Amino acid sequence: MSDTSREQLDASRARMVEFWRCHDEMEARLSRPLTERMLDLAGVSRRMHVLDVASGRGEPAVPAAHRVGPQGRVLGIDLVDGVLELARARARREGLENIAFQVADAETLQAGAGTFDVATLRWGLMYMRAPERALASIHRALKPGGALVIASWAEPARVPWASLARRILERYREVPPLPSADEPGVFRHADPAVLEAALVRNGFSVEASEELEVPVVESSDARDLVTWIQQLGGPVVKLVGELPEPRQRAWEAELLAELERRRTGDKVSLGGVTRLTLGTALAAGLV
């Protein structure tokens, strides 16, 4: 990687850390039902050892640590130490001593074969360069019969937090197609068959799949959600920035109006449908 590319990556990660520092508490609160359902599906209970991949700010690692108790262990891994610092701070606030966070690449994870009872992966696999390598690493880390629960997003029409701004932008300019299932992106595993086939190829049997509507941002003022989308960044925000200023303002006004139509009571929220996929790690001879 060139010095320029590294500097750009470092700057992008710094922006991401600051974004989540501002929004972590809200997102964790809104998505708590998803976290709890992931842990329920995986059967997380006392004394278990849990691996949380792409742990970020500690979801669902921190709630898992409460479930496994002092005689259990949780390890959360992520590529970005800055977001893991947010998770470490939360674990300290909640008095947890049975949890650790470390910088590690899931695609090359060396955590010890057959170490964990459960693995969780929330909204992370779809962004990885080589997700099947990550699945193979997780399979090695799990005990035979261990559970893996993955949270991924459904198709764009049912995930407005990631698609609404793009859909409105299409009225103002040509927008490149979404990444394919072979490329990193929010909708990489929108087709459940893609993820399920990858699991089977890497030593898992698919036990269950279910969907859950999850809000990720809310406010009494819809303008706060517009700001959230702009701060989140990504290709759509970059494309908006290339428009003449009057058309940028028009895009923003249409987005604001669409958000207001989603108001319920004194709150406007934005989220989407998440698919939970449960896999079981097969013993080597059964793969």
**Tens digit of each residue's pLDDT (9 = 90 or more) over 32-68:** 999 999 999 999 999 999 999 999 999 999 999 999 9
| The pLDDT of residue 21 is above 60 | yes
Higher-confidence residue: 286 or 131?
131
Please indicate, yes or no, if residue 226 is contained in any of the structural domains.
Answer: no
* Residue 115: half-sphere exposure toward Cβ, Cα within 13 Å: 16
Please indicate, yes or no, if residue 162 is contained in any of the structural domains.
Answer: no
**What pLDDT is recorded for position 285?**
53
Q: Please, which residues bridge with residue 50 across strands? A: 74, 118
- Residues 177-230: pLDDT tens digits? 999 888 999 999 999 999 999 999 999 999 999 999 999 999 999 999 999 999
Higher-confidence residue: 98 or 3?
98
Please indicate, yes or no, if residue 66 is contained in any of the structural domains.
Answer: yes
Q: Are strands 268-281 and 204-219 parallel, antiparallel or unpaired?
A: antiparallel
| The pLDDT of residue 14 is above 70 | no
Please indicate, yes or no, if residue 76 is contained in any of the structural domains.
Answer: yes
**What pLDDT is recorded for position 110?**
86
| The pLDDT of residue 6 is above 80 | no
Query: How far from 264 is each of 18, 212, 222, CA to CA, in Å?
Result: 29, 19, 11
**What pLDDT is recorded for position 147?**
98
Q: How far apart are alpha carbons 51 and 146 in whole angstroms? A: 11
The average confidence (pLDDT) of the chain is 93
Please indicate, yes or no, if residue 122 is contained in any of the structural domains.
Answer: yes
| The pLDDT of residue 8 is above 60 | no
Q: How far apart are alpha carbons 31 and 263 in whole angstroms? A: 19
Determine if residue 275 is left, alpha or beta; phi over 0 gives left, psi from -120 to 50 gives alpha, anything else beta. beta
Q: Which residues, other chains included, contact 219 with Cβ-Cβ below 8 Å and sequence gap of 6+?
A: 225, 228, 267, 268
Q: How far apart are alpha carbons 34 and 44 in whole angstroms? A: 14
| The pLDDT of residue 284 is above 80 | no
Q: How far apart are alpha carbons 271 and 151 in whole angstroms? A: 14
Q: How many domains does the chain have?
A: 1
Distance from the Cα of residue 114 to its chain's centroid: 25
Whose tokens are 């700001």? That residue is: 227
Q: Which CATH number do you get for residue 80?
A: 3.40.50.150
Over range 257-283, report the average pLDDT: 96
**What pLDDT is recorded for position 107?**
93
Please indicate, yes or no, if residue 136 is contained in any of the structural domains.
Answer: yes
Give the pLDDT band (50/70/90) at residue 23.
confident
Amino acid at site 207: E
Please indicate, yes or no, if residue 210 is contained in any of the structural domains.
Answer: yes
